[in-house]
Each structure stands twice: as structure tokens, then as C-alpha cells.
């Protein structure tokens, strides 16, 4: 018997790998892929994410019983999609309080391991166990193909899961009569799947698919033209190379900046701990005056034209009273009186008593 403890919030790729490994090692049955798919779907779609689960795998005669148990509350019945998967892939299932269980017919790998790939592919169309045997033979190879596309972080596990799904699709679609080796066909399938996955999921800011596709072509054109011209190509040259409108090329160049977002709290380098937040502009002090200016605007328009003019020259053009006197054509004393009178009028009209 094998028992797996799944941490809170475990993701489907992690769950599937743990289940496949446990079945192959502890209960060597050739339906590990079906078990992994069912357990990952049951856990991620039926159980609460903040509650841990236990997966128990037991051999009962010629069957393997897989039981998923919640460590906390009683669970709800599986939704329609999970129920349909259990009906289609398992040989019987049920629910008991905190647990959901299902059974799979066991077919020992020793019965299939001596067969060649050609013999297994002849059986794969009608025998799910033969398909699973092929998967187990090429699972490690598919992971090695996916390694060049792993970029660390949250996407690393998902890349491996995408490669495994692509391998299953390649097994289901491969026909030995194609006249090519299975690895040749499967490699193209896996690489195509991974490229689409990375294109659709790894952008820091989501952009339209048409732009992300154009960005891929743009990167290729930049590389080729840079070598040919000996310098970075201009947008017009790239548009001509790609036979695209220059506006579309400029949009793609701007979209490329959205591929990797940088945290404002991240240091510039290991040697420089200064963060982007520290060098960004600070809050504009004039923001606090916005409401006051909004209130003053109609009041200023009610002042005498000469008062409006001297206020504008003094506070917006930052002119001295002597310079204002020359512009307006009055004495400096009169300018001082005009400013004082205008300010007194505005203060009176802004005071609560005047409201």
C-alpha cells in the first residue's frame, strides 16, 4: 500500500507526478496515467484548497483502489465533469464522508514490458494499458525535451505537465505507417505544445494573441537584420522585412516590453540595493491644492480685470511688484494695494461664514 500526503493548495501537475510515481513504484499497474488524471481532477475541483488531503493506493485482487481523503471537513459530491471522468476512466467509484475512492483494473507491467514499441502501438488503440506502458517508457525523454523550455518560477512545473500532456496526445495520434520514428513525431508535438503554452501564459501583462504572434516574428527579424545591417534596424525597415504596416510593428515593439515585468521593490543588481521605488518620482505637492484651486477658479473670474491681471502676473508668472507696475502701467504702491484687495476678497468669499 502507498500513501501520499498532499500539502494545502497542491497544484494538478504536482499531484499527478506524485500519483504516477507512487503507482509505478508501489503498485506497478499500467494505468498510472488514468489514476493521476483522476486524482488531480478530484483534488483540484472537489476538495477545499486550504485543506490537505491524503491519497491511499491499495491493491485489492486484480484492482487498485485509490482513495482521496480530506483532513478536515466532509466534502461535497463531485461536480458533473469529475463524475463523468470517474465514470469513463474508472472501474467503479464512490464517496464516503470525507473520502472519494475509485478502482482501476490492474495489469502488471511485467506482462507488457517485454513487448517492443511496434507491438505496443498496435495494442494502444484498443488497450489503455499498452498506451500507459508507452507513456512510462518515454516520460523521462519528454521531460528532457521540456528542460530547454523551463524558465524557473511558477511555470517550471506547468511546463513539465504540458510536455506530459503533449506526449499522451502524440501516443494517441501516432501511426507507425507514417514512416517516421515515434520520437521524431512526438518531439515536434511536444515542442509545438510548449511554444503555444509559453506564448499564452508567460507574459507578465496579457496582450492580444495577434500581437504576441507578431512579437515572435519581430524578434526573428530583429536578429536577422541586425546581422545584415550591422546595427539595430529601424521600425520602417522591420515593417518592410515583415511586410506589415509600420503601426503594427510599433505596437509589437511596445507589447514586447510587457513580456517581463520588474518589481518596483527589486534591487537593480546584487551590488546595488537601490530599488526602482526609491528613484521613482514622489507625490506632487500640488495635489493637495487641487480642491482649493477648483474652488478659487470661479471666484477669481468675478474679480475686476485689473485685479485678475496682477494676480496672474504675481503668482503664475512669478513677477515682482516693480515688474508688474511697468507692465500694467501703475505705481508699485498701487500694485501692492490691488494684490491685497484681491486676496482679501477671495479670503472673504472662501470663509465658512460666506457659504
pLDDT mean by block of 10 residues, the chain; 355 residues: 70 70 59 78 75 81 84 76 87 87 72 79 77 88 82 63 88 86 90 76 58 71 83 86 84 67 64 66 64 77 87 86 88 90 85 57
Q: Which of 104, 114, 101, 27 is nearest to 68 (CA)?
A: 101
Instruction: Sort strands 53-60 and 99-105 into parallel, antiparallel or unpaired.
Output: unpaired
Q: What angle do the packed helices 332-350 and 290-301 form, to 10 degrees?
A: 110
| 32 within some domain | yes
* pLDDT at residue number 355: 47
| 289 within some domain | no
CA–CA distance, 244 with 239 (Å, rounded to integer): 5
Q: Are residues 315 and 258 in the same domain?
A: no
| 239 within some domain | yes
| 8 within some domain | yes
Boundary of a domain, candidates 160, 183, 201: 201
| 300 within some domain | yes
Q: Are residues 241 and 327 in the same domain?
A: no
* pLDDT at residue number 60: 81
Q: Which of 100, 95, 3, 2 is nearest to 42 (CA)?
A: 100
CA–CA distance, 27 with 10 (Å, rounded to integer): 23
CA–CA distance, 297 with 260 (Å, rounded to integer): 45
Q: Are residues 182 and 122 in the same domain?
A: yes
Q: Are residues 242 and 263 in the same domain?
A: yes
| 131 within some domain | yes
* pLDDT at residue number 268: 62
Q: Are residues 101 and 13 in the same domain?
A: yes
| 347 within some domain | yes
Q: Is the Cα dihedral 169, 170, 174, 178 positive or negative?
A: positive
Q: Which residues contact 11 (CB under 8 A, 6 or more apart)?
A: 44, 157
Q: Are residues 187 and 209 in the same domain?
A: no
- pTM confidence score: 0.37
Boundary of a domain, candidates 201, 216, 247: 201
Boundary of a domain, candidates 201, 232, 265: 201
Q: Is the Cα dihedral 234, 240, 244, 247 positive or negative?
A: positive
| 19 within some domain | yes
The 99-105 sheet, strands edge to edge: 2-6, 53-60, 63-70, 99-105, 93-96
Q: Is 185 exposed, middle or buried (0-12, 13-18, 19+ CB in 10 A)?
A: middle
CATH number of the CATH domain containing 246:
1.10.10.10
Q: Are residues 6 and 38 in the same domain?
A: yes
165-177: burial string, b at 16+ Cβ within 10 Å, e else: bbbbebbeebeee
Q: Are residues 93 and 8 in the same domain?
A: yes
Q: By 3-state DSSP, what share of the chain in percent is helix, strand and coil, each rounded to 5? A: 60, 10, 30
Q: Are residues 47 and 100 in the same domain?
A: yes
Phi-psi region of 61 (alpha: psi -120 to 50; beta: other; left: phi over 0): left
Q: Are residues 97 and 120 in the same domain?
A: no
> Which residue range forms the structural domain that includes residue 126?
112-201
CATH number of the CATH domain containing 193:
1.10.1740.10
Q: Are residues 7 and 98 in the same domain?
A: yes
Phi, psi of 77 (to 5 degrees): -60, 150
Q: Are residues 186 and 230 in the same domain?
A: no
Please count the structural domains in the chain: 4
CATH number of the CATH domain containing 81:
3.30.565.10
Amino acid at each position: 500500500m502507498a500513501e501520499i500526503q498532499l500539502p494545502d493548495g497542491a497544484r494538478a501537475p504536482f499531484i499527478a507526478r506524485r500519483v504516477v510515481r507512487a503507482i509505478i513504484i508501489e503498485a506497478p499497474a499500467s494505468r498510472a496515467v488514468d489514476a493521476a488524471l483522476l486524482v488531480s481532477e478530484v483534488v483540484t475541483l472537489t476538495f477545499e484548497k486550504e485543506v490537505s488531503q491524503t491519497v491511499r493506493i491499495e491493491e485489492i485482487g486484480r484492482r487498485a483502489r485509490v482513495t482521496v481523503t480530506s483532513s478536515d471537513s466532509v466534502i461535497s459530491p463531485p461536480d458533473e465533469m469529475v463524475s463523468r471522468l470517474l465514470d469513463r476512466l474508472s472501474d467503479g467509484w464512490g464517496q464516503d464522508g470525507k473520502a472519494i475512492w475509485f478502482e482501476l483494473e490492474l495489469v502488471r507491467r511485467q506482462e507488457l514490458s517485454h513487448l517492443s514499441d511496434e507491438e505496443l502501438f498496435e495494442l494502444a488503440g484498443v488497450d489503455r494499458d499498452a498506451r500507459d506502458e508507452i507513456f512510462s517508457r518515454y516520460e523521462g525523454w519528454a521531460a528532457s525535451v521540456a528542460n530547454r523550455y523551463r524558465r524557473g518560477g511558477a511555470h517550471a512545473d506547468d511546463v513539465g505537465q504540458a510536455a506530459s500532456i503533449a506526449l499522451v496526445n502524440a501516443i494517441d495520434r501516432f501511426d507507425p505507417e507514417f514512416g517516421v520514428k515515434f520520437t521524431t513525431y512526438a518531439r515536434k508535438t511536444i515542442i509545438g505544445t510548449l511554444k503555444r503554452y509559453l506564448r499564452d501564459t508567460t507574459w507578465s501583462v496579457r496582450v492580444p494573441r495577434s500581437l504576441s504572434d507578431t512579437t515572435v516574428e519581430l524578434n526573428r527579424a530583429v536578429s536577422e537584420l541586425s546581422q545584415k545591417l550591422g546595427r539595430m534596424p529601424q521600425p520602417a525597415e522591420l515593417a518592410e522585412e515583415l511586410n506589415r504596416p509600420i503601426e503594427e510593428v510599433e505596437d509589437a515593439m511596445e507589447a514586447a516590453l510587457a513580456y517581463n515585468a520588474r518589481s518596483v521593490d527589486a534591487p537593480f543588481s546584487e551590488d546595488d540595493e537601490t530599488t526602482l521605488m526609491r528613484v521613482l518620482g514622489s507625490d506632487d505637492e500640488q495635489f493637495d491644492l487641487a480642491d482649493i484651486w477648483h474652488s478659487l477658479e470661479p471666484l477669481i473670474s468675478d474679480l475686476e480685470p485689473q485685479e485678475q491681471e496682477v494676480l496672474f502676473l504675481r503668482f503664475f508668472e512669478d513677477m515682482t511688484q516693480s515688474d508688474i507696475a511697468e507692465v500694467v502701467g501703475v505705481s508699485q504702491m498701487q500694485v501692492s494695494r490691488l494684490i491685497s484687495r484681491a486676496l482679501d476678497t477671495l479670503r472673504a468669499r472662501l470663509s465658512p461664514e460666506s457659504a
